[in-house]
Structure 1
Amino acid sequence: MLSIGEFSNICKVSTKTLRYYAEIGLLEPSEVNPENGYRYYSIDQLEKMLFISRLKSYSFSLEEVKDILRDDAEKSDKLYTAFLRKKQEIEKQLYDYSQLLNQLDSDMAAIEQGESIMSYMDDINVHLVDVPQMCLLYVRKSVQQDDFPLEYAKSYEKLFKTIATTHLTMCGAPMVLFHSSEYTPAGLDTEFAIPVKEVVTGTRDFTPGLCLKTVVKGPYSDLASVYVKQTEWAEKEGYKCNGPLFEIYVTDPSQVADAKDNITEVYYPVKKISMKW
C-alpha cells in the first residue's frame, strides 16, 4: 500500500487533485484509516492513475474520463470511438489555429508595408439586386450561438427528409434567415429553409425584394466583415434594413475539403430612405 503522499509523488499528481478525484468518485483510495483518516492506495491503482492522466492530456473532461472508466476496458470500442472524436476535435483546433497564424502573418506583413490591416474590406463587393419571391420549406427555432453547427445539421436533415418523402422539388440552395436583431438569452431567432416549387404544409412565401448582395468565397468566419461592409454601404447610399438578413449556401460545407472553397451569398434586405425637405 502507498500513502497518498507516496502515490502523489510517483504519479506526479498533487494530493489536492487526488482528494478531489476521490470526492467525485473518479479514483477513490483503496483504504482509509478510520482513526486518522489517512488515505492509502494500492499498487494496482498506479496504472489507473496514469491512464487518467493520459486521458486528461488529450483534453477529455473529468466527466468524459469517468464515462470511459465505467467500461473498465482500455481497448474497448467505446474508447476507440472517444479517441477518434477527440482526434477530430484536435484536428479542427489545429486547423483553426493555422488559419489564425496565416491571418496574423498577413496582418503583420500589412503593418510592415504601412498598410491598414482592415484594407481587405475594400475588396468586399456589394451589389443592389432585386430578389424574386420564393416558396420556402422551413424550420424556425431559437438557437444559441455555440449550437449552430449542430442545429444546421439537424434542421437540414429534417428538411431534406421531408423533401424526399413528400417528393418536393428543390429550386434553390439551402439558406438561413436571421430574424433577431440581436442575441438574447433564448438564442437567435433562426429560420433554416430550402426553396421548393410546391406549396404544401410547412412552406411559406418569402419576398425579399430589394437587397444588398455579396458573394463570399471562404470560411464562414469571414461573413461578419461582409455584414459590416453592407451596413456601411447602406448608410452611405441612403438605404436602411428592411427584413431579415439571410445567407444562401451555394456549396455544401460537408462536400468542401477546405473552408476557403466555401461559396456563400449574403443578402441584406433594404429600402430607400425617404428624404425630408
Structure 2
Amino acid sequence: MYTIGQFSKIGKVSTKTLRDYDKISLIKPSFVNPENQYRYYEKNQIKDILRINKLKIYKFSLDEIKQIIQDKSNETLKDLLQKQVNHITKEIEYSNNILLELKDSIEKLKKGDDIMTYKRIFEISTYTLEDTLVLSLRNRISMDNIGNLIGKVFENIYRNNLKICGNIMTLYYDEDFDETNADLEVCIPVNKELQNPAIKTRILKGGLFAHTTFVGPYSEIGEAYAELTDWISKNSYEITGAPFDKYIKGPESNCSPDEFVTEVYFPITKK
C-alpha cells in the first residue's frame, strides 16, 4: 500500500487534490487508519488516478469524469469524447479564423493598404421570409465561445438523427450589445420536429426583413449593421425583433476572411 504522500507523487497530484477527490467519491483511499486518519492507496488504484489525469487533460469536469468512471460500459466515455471533439474542433476553427484575419492584415499592410478603412457598398432590400423549423440553443455567453454553442447545436442534430436543411443563423437579442455577455441564439434549420423535452425544435417566425449581404471578416460586420440601421430609419420602418446573421461562406471554405459571406436580416414593419 502507498501513503497519501507516496500516491501523490505517483499520480502527480497534490495531497489536497486527493482529499478533494475523496470528498466527492471520485477516488477514495482503500484504507483509512481509524486512529490517525492516515489514508492509504493500493497499487491497482494507480490506473484510476492516471485515468483521471488523462481525462482532465481532455478538459472534462470532475462531474463528467465521475460519470465516466461509474459507467463500466464506456458509453458515457464515448458520448463525452465526441462532445469534446466537437467542442475543440469549433475552438480550433475560431482560432484559425482569427489567424487568417491576422495574416490577411499583415499582407494588406505590406501592400500599403489601410486595414482600418472600410469602403464597402451595400445593396439593401426588403425580403419576406417564411416560417422555418429550427433546432436552436439560446444562451448568454462571451462571443469568444460562440463556436462552442454552434457545436452543441450540431451535436444535438446528429444525436437525434435530424437532417440539416439550411445555413446556420445567429440571433442577437441584446439592445445594448456586450461582447463578453451576449444574449444570443444559434439556429439550424432541420427536417422534422423533435419530441424530446430536453432538446426542442421551434418555429423561427418569418415576416418582413431588411436584408443585405456582407462580404468580409466577421470582425467588420458592424459596418453592415450600421448601414441597415440607417436604411431602416430613412425609409420609415422600425425594427420589430432580434436581427440575425446567416452564414453562407466561412472558415470551412478555406478562403480568406475577405471572402467570407454573411447575410444580415433585421425584422421590420412600417411606422
By the TM > 0.5 criterion, same fold? Answer: yes
Q: Distance between the aligned counterparts of 1:175 and 1:82, measured in 2?
A: 26
SS class of match (1:122): coil
Q: Distance between the aligned counterparts of 2:247 and 2:33, measured in 1?
A: 67
Aligned to 1:199: none
Q: Distance between the aligned counterparts of 1:83 and 1:193, measured in 2?
A: 26
Q: Is the 8 A contact 2:137 2:185 kept in 1?
A: yes
Give the deviation of 1:9 after TM superposition. 1.1
Aligned to 2:265: 267
Q: Are 1:66 and 2:63 matched, yes or no?
A: no
Aligned to 1:24: 24
Q: Which moved more, 1:145-154 or 1:110-119?
A: 145-154
Which letter does structure 2 place at the counterpart of 1:26? L
Aligned to 1:102: 100
Give the deviation of 1:227 after TM superposition. 3.5
Q: How many residues align?
A: 241
Q: Distance between the aligned counterparts of 1:62 and 1:49, measured in 2?
A: 12
Q: Which moved more, 1:2-11 or 1:91-100?
A: 91-100
Q: Are 1:143 and 2:138 matched, yes or no?
A: yes
Aligned to 1:84: 82
Q: Distance between the aligned counterparts of 2:42 and 2:168, measured in 1?
A: 58
Choose 1 or 2 for highest CA Rg: 1
Q: Distance between the aligned counterparts of 1:12 and 1:173, measured in 2?
A: 46
Aligned to 1:129: 125
Give the deviation of 1:235 after TM superposition. 4.8
- Equivalences for 1:14-53 in 2 at 5 Å? 14-53=14-53
Q: Distance between the aligned counterparts of 1:117 and 1:271, measured in 2?
A: 36
Which letter does structure 2 place at the counterpart of 1:13? V
SS class of match (1:35): coil
Q: Is the 8 A contact 2:238 2:268 kept in 1?
A: yes
Q: Residues 72 and 268 (structure 1 numbering): CA distance in 2 closer, same or farther, change over 3 Å?
A: closer
Q: Is the 8 A contact 1:216 1:266 kept in 2?
A: yes
Q: Are 1:215 and 2:213 matched, yes or no?
A: yes
Aligned to 2:175: 181
Q: Residues 233 and 40 (structure 1 numbering): CA distance in 2 closer, same or farther, change over 3 Å?
A: same
Aligned to 1:3: 3
Q: Which moved more, 1:76-85 or 1:29-38?
A: 76-85
Give the deviation of 1:64 after TM superposition. 1.0
Q: Is the 8 A contact 1:242 1:270 kept in 2?
A: yes
Aligned to 2:199: none
Q: Is the 8 A contact 1:142 1:190 kept in 2?
A: yes
Q: Distance between the aligned counterparts of 1:225 and 1:60, measured in 2?
A: 34
Gaps of 5+ in 1: 162-169, 195-201
Q: Distance between the aligned counterparts of 1:203 and 1:56, measured in 2?
A: 38
Give the deviation of 1:134 after TM superposition. 5.1
Q: Which deviations, in whole Å up to 9, do the C-alpha atoms of 1:211-259 show, x marking residues without a partner?
A: 3x4313577xx1x632444415755997387213544748599xx9538
Q: Is the 8 A contact 1:175 1:246 kept in 2?
A: no
Q: Which moved more, 1:58-67 or 1:173-182?
A: 173-182
Which letter does structure 1 place at the counterpart of 2:54? R
- Equivalences for 1:206-245 in 2 at 5 Å? 206-208=207-209, 211=210, 213-216=211-214, 222=218, 225-231=220-226, 235=230, 239=234, 242-243=238-239, 244=241
Q: Which deviations, in whole Å up to 9, do the C-alpha atoms of 1:180-213 show, x marking residues without a partner?
A: 534699945999999xxxxxxx8977234xx3x4
Which letter does structure 2 place at the counterpart of 1:181? E
Q: Residues 153 and 266 (structure 1 numbering): CA distance in 2 closer, same or farther, change over 3 Å?
A: farther
Q: Distance between the aligned counterparts of 2:15 and 2:246, measured in 1?
A: 53
TM-score, length-normalised on structure 1? 0.63
Q: Is the 8 A contact 2:216 2:260 kept in 1?
A: yes
TM-score, length-normalised on structure 2? 0.64
What percent of counterpart residues are identical? 28
Aligned to 1:258: 253
Q: Distance between the aligned counterparts of 1:29 and 1:228, measured in 2?
A: 60
SS class of match (2:119): helix
